[in-house]
Amino acid sequence: MIANVGGVDRVVRAVAGIAILGAGLYFKSWWGLVGLVPLGTAVFRFCPAYLPFGLSTCKIK
């Protein structure tokens, strides 16, 4: 897996993931587990949805 998630994108995904997980806990809903997706893509710096479109938010080396 080649990293395709850059710095700002990574922070936004992490914050969104934590917020969704927190909302799920607050409202006692299993839908909060959806927050694991953006959190996982932030941790691994890889987004499979970017592949078909050839997108990358990483800086060019």
Confidence (pTM): 0.89
* Per-residue pLDDT at 61 exceeds 70: no
Mean pLDDT confidence for 37-61:
93
Q: So what's the pLDDT on residue 1?
A: 83
Q: Is residue 61 domain-resident? A: no
Inside any domain, residue 59: no
In a domain, 36, yes or no: yes
- Evaluate whether residue 19 is within a structural domain: yes
Q: Residue 31 and residue 45: Cα distance in Å, rounded? A: 23
Q: How many domains does the chain have?
A: 1
- Domain span including residue 41: 7-50
Tokens 């809903």 belong to: 29
Q: If you ran DSSP here, which 8-state letter would residue 60 be given? A: P
pLDDT at 2 over 70: yes
How many Cβ atoms from other residues are within 10 Å of residue 57's Cβ? 16
2 in any annotated domain: no
Say if 60 falls within a structural domain. Answer: no
For the residues 2-30, what does the mean pLDDT come to?
Answer: 97
